[in-house]
Structure 1
Amino acid sequence: MDLETFLHHLHFDTDKSAPPDWQVDWEDAPLPYKLYRGLPEISLSADVPLTLKQREAHAKPALEELGHFLWYVYGLTHYAQTAFTEENGEKAAVSYTQLVRRFVPSGGALYPNELYVYIKLEDVPAGIYHYDVAHHRLLLLREGNHDFYLSRSLGNSYDLSDCFCTVFVSTVFWKNFYKYNNFSYRLQGLDAGVLIGQALEAANQMGFSSRVCYQFLDRSINHLLGLAEQDESVYAIIPLSTKQSINSVYKDNHSDDIVSDTELTQEVPMLIHETYNRSKRVIDYPLLRKMNEESLLDTTNSFVKIRNNDRVKADFGMEAIMLPFTGHFAYDFASICRERHSPDMDFIMRKVSQTQLSTLLKETFSLSYQNDLNDTYGNAENHVTLYGSFYNVEGIPNGAYAYDKGAHALRRITHGDFREFLQYGLTMPTVNLFQVPLVLHLVGDKDHFKKELGYRGYRIQQMEAGILLQRLLLVASALEMGGHPLLGFNANQSDELYGITAKDKTSLIQVPVGPYRPRAWLKGGLLS
């Protein structure tokens, strides 16, 4: 299968993303976290605060703070047991499922990503560490100061001298391929984006400045971390600083200061560490490996900037319904993280007020983050927009709408109740959309930035959608509503509803949002 067909199947013909005889070997499933053996360890404090507060100005960051940051971003937060009733004739059997969860959602709760950190703190040796979520500790992979190496891997575009920590978000391909086969590639980008979104929120709460780097010399970074790229590869890098911002240095890609991964990887020795993932039989995933290989950057001359005028802006040209003005919406980030979950059959139909809807959209799209796709502050919504089907919303006629962020208005596409239409578009009806007032779709370009970024553009688009998705879920939870991210929907159908096919745009993810009843489950926290 060629890669264009592969990407088409991921979005528009998902049944072809796995062989028709695909069987999941549940007994041989990998662990949802990576384990290293025999490495020096540094324990992180289990005394995690219930509220994250802005740090004092000019105070030096400490290991304890970093531990709190990592736990809120990707730590194991609670153990949940849910009961399911299965009816068989006159008898009903109750079965249970147990999951160890985190604050971020993940497809199938499989968490295919891993976190690594390059630390420069006074109370720990400088070096590259793996965040061992199973034990809430750091494992030392490579000691030493690697500013010069890392800066060149990022194209010498940033001043990393003031960064006390650099976070690496990787994807372990097998961790969800074992269940979803090739469809896992779409999930991996979105999961990485959701994780990045959570990291940005936590950093902002703690007073750290951050920048998301999507472009770097992949083999150099994987070599620095000791990753075998056929098994695992870094998707994004996030430097953290206590300064107001992380300075960007303009570089002309056609200058003589071009760096290649070949010269960099020769500067540091190869790492060989023992790991454990529990699976005894790992099936090959040639299409995922091929996509990863085609996405790699081997020279800094390949780095690009996407200017706003390079992309076609949304042409609404439709009747507008202006949303009411709402002031700044403050919420306790840590508390919302603890409360947030993804309802399925728990949604209940209640009227949503215009103020709730206005706050949800305004606060979601107020997200602003520094990245290397733009020269200055870039907004996730520059490349991802929002459409929705609304039912039982105060003052909003039932119908399909596009959100115009610039005017803070809804642009009406068509009237009607489309709950049944969307319900029958679900490939797995795990959510009752008849009970959901807001069915939202994050929408992006069909070409996935291929012109500018090649096949790497696909995973970047998925990550940007994931960043915005996490912001949406947090704001919805703060408004006492729930959101359930869905990829099991008919993208052709939703694109037809919004009339965006001719505009070369497509729905990336579907998110039902609305009030819900408390779920019946046994849940316990893992840290006090």
Structure 2
Amino acid sequence: MVDAREYHERSKHSPQSVRDTDWTLDFDNKPRPSKVYTDLPRLSLGEPVNPPDAPALSAVATSRPSPDRVGDPATGTGLAELCHYAAGVTKTLEIRGEQASFRAASCTGKLYHIDLYAVTGDLDDADPGVYQYDPESDEFHVLREGDFRGVLAAASGGQQGVADAPVTLVATSTWWRNSWKYRDRTYRHAFWDSGTVLANLLAVAHGAGYRAEVVAGFADEPVVELLGIDPEWEAPLELVAVGADDPAPAPGSVEHIDPAIEVASDPVEFPLIHDAWDQSTLADGETAEAWREGFADATAADCGTHAPGAGDLVQLDPVDDETASARPVGNTIERRGSLREYSHEPISDRKLATILDRALRGVPTDCFGRGAPDSLLDYYVLVHAVEGVPSGAYQYHPGENALERVGDTGRQEAAYLALGQEVVGDAAVNVYAMADVDAVVEHVGNRGYRLAQLEGGIALGRLYLATYAHRALGGRGFTFYDDLVSEHLSPRASNQTPMTLFAFGKPEQ
């Protein structure tokens, strides 16, 4: 069984690995982008109609579970809205004569392998149960009737957010829906793509005034059994506890279920994916609690992140809440796209500052803060065209709202780092989320690697939302040559490797 460090090494891109591959896509065997049960009842909560009107820029700027803006959960955004604006179909376009559906959150290859399940108590709009969200119809498959929240509370070691939440969402990945194209790298993509879904989910929940927290520490097998899934093919990734003050009952017995699923392709196994997931599983609630508490024994330096150094600083000046873009969360999610062509026209330094400030403040999780590190990541920014900021490579320091120069860069170099994709060099700004995988695994285990990749995915999703909250900007996530990025950002990032990359700027007219 590989540990996370070996998996990461074996799934890296290099010019040679990309050049030497003989993998070809079998479009006759392409998996469908959603799960279809053959005989489960469905629950319809009506068309999602109440996205929160909170500005997207304030909704993504939340590093704590409880937002500053407090709404009324009894009359505000409901379960259907939470799921629709996190993972539902938000637009359908005709492309080359065929209808193409696009989801609320971006996904590698538009393959949509992330599913959401809701484990609920007695909600205003749903009875207690375990439901699987269908993004195509905005309906819910009914897996179980009854209140099973206690199962998740026990699996998480009594984590307070889960124990008190009226609903906890579970994100899973069906490996084959992504590995059809990306093979072993799918394990990374599971956290990138669930991260963009969770970024939306957190924004919608916080925008509506709900408490919402990502829970990475939980025993995996009880969740597998509760959802009736087979982790060889579909596995749980994260929990998101939404709401508060509704204690879960004691965990009861969970009858085994094996719901029938319609399979429209012939899955190909990539054993490294499941092996990488399996080596990071937690056995029970006590183990989950101990893993979470282990973060308090690790410092930021232990986890390989870097405090400000001796480089030249560019102080940033983000706009305040009163003058920031007020584009609402729901509208921003619906507007979000994946920009294909960038202008070389510079963006303003204040827009750069505002996007970084709002998107990269930190993620509300069960692991960070309260004496533990606030993050496993550092953020590096390649500036190509920003008014008042010289072209170059910088480390972004969120606490100081400053860019520290760590080296030179250029558009051609930036494009080459991103698998030679010229569009990345055309963008005004590239943002890399970087982690020290060796240090993370040493201090917080293989499960910590999941969290590092997930944190990068949530940052990616928040950068999307913070960018598309501005009328004249657009952006997109990209992949990269892992070691070449580290070399380009050395010596500062010599111990770190990229988790995610986001490029943004002005669209080509």
Contact map agreement 1:18 1:180 (CA 8 A) in 2:
no
Q: Counterpart in 2 of 1:463? A: 454
Question: Per-residue deviation at 1:12?
Answer: 4.7
Residues 28-427 of structure 1 mapped to structure 2, 5 A cutoff: 28-46=29-47, 48-49=49-50, 52=53, 60=74, 65-83=78-96, 98-120=99-121, 121-158=123-160, 160=162, 162-241=164-243, 267-279=253-265, 281-303=266-288, 304=291, 305=293, 306-307=295-296, 309=299, 310-315=302-307, 316-328=309-321, 329=324, 330-344=326-340, 346-369=341-364, 371-374=365-368, 376=370, 382-415=375-408, 417-427=409-419
2:436 is aligned, of 445, 467, 471, to 445
Gaps of 5+ in 1: 84-95, 248-263, 519-528
* Aligned equivalents of 1:42, 1:199: Cα separation in 2: 20
Please give the per-residue CA displacement for 1:59-94, whole angstroms capped at 9, x wherever unaligned: 5268x72111211111111112334xxxxxxxxxxx
Q: 1:24 to 1:267 in 2, by over 3 A?
A: same
* Aligned equivalents of 2:486, 2:313: Cα separation in 1: 20
> Share of identical aligned residues, percent?
23
Question: Per-residue deviation at 1:468?
Answer: 1.1
Question: Per-residue deviation at 1:516?
Answer: 0.3
Question: Secondary structure of the equivalent of 1:215?
Answer: coil
Please give the per-residue CA displacement for 1:29-84, whole angstroms capped at 9, x wherever unaligned: 1110111121121113125246546998555268x72111211111111112334x
* Aligned equivalents of 1:404, 1:34: Cα separation in 2: 41
* Aligned equivalents of 2:199, 2:439: Cα separation in 1: 19
Structure 1 range deviating more: 170-179 or 451-460: 451-460
Question: Whose strand proportion is higher, 1 or 2?
Answer: 1
Question: Secondary structure of the equivalent of 1:455?
Answer: helix
Q: Counterpart in 2 of 1:257? A: none
Structure 1 range deviating more: 287-296 or 17-26: 17-26
Question: Per-residue deviation at 1:427?
Answer: 2.3
Question: Secondary structure of the equivalent of 1:60?
Answer: coil
Aligned residues: 481
- 1:481 equivalenced with 2:473 (yes/no): yes
Output the amino acid matched with 1:77. T
* Aligned equivalents of 1:288, 1:395: Cα separation in 2: 44
Output the amino acid matched with 2:356. L
Contact map agreement 1:17 1:183 (CA 8 A) in 2:
no
- 1:495 equivalenced with 2:509 (yes/no): no
* Aligned equivalents of 2:27, 2:385: Cα separation in 1: 41
Output the amino acid matched with 1:364. A
Please give the per-residue CA displacement for 1:171-216, whole angstroms capped at 9, x wherever unaligned: 1111111111112222111111111111101101111111111111
Structure 1 range deviating more: 220-229 or 138-147: 138-147
RCO higher in structure (CA 8 A, sep ≥6): 2
Contact map agreement 1:387 1:440 (CA 8 A) in 2:
yes
Contact map agreement 1:193 1:464 (CA 8 A) in 2:
yes
Q: 1:334 to 1:444 in 2, by over 3 A?
A: same
Question: Secondary structure of the equivalent of 1:507?
Answer: strand
Question: Per-residue deviation at 1:375?
Answer: 5.6
Q: Counterpart in 1 of 2:11? A: 10
Contact map agreement 1:118 1:166 (CA 8 A) in 2:
yes
Contact map agreement 2:153 2:163 (CA 8 A) in 1:
no
Question: Per-residue deviation at 1:432?
Answer: 2.2
Contact map agreement 2:172 2:234 (CA 8 A) in 1:
yes
Q: 1:336 to 1:123 in 2, by over 3 A?
A: closer
Contact map agreement 1:17 1:182 (CA 8 A) in 2:
no
* Aligned equivalents of 1:396, 1:133: Cα separation in 2: 42
* Aligned equivalents of 2:124, 2:393: Cα separation in 1: 55
Output the amino acid matched with 1:8. E
Question: Per-residue deviation at 1:5?
Answer: 3.9
Please give the per-residue CA displacement for 1:291-330, whole angstroms capped at 9, x wherever unaligned: 1221111133433231362434414221112122531234
Structure 1 range deviating more: 225-234 or 96-105: 96-105
Question: Per-residue deviation at 1:269?
Answer: 1.3
Q: Counterpart in 1 of 2:63? A: none
* Aligned equivalents of 2:461, 2:238: Cα separation in 1: 16
Question: Per-residue deviation at 1:289?
Answer: 1.8
TM-score, normalised by the number of residues in structure 2: 0.86
* Aligned equivalents of 1:122, 1:292: Cα separation in 2: 36
Please give the per-residue CA displacement for 1:394-414, whole angstroms capped at 9, x wherever unaligned: 121221111122221111123
Q: Give the structure with higher Rg (CA).
A: 1
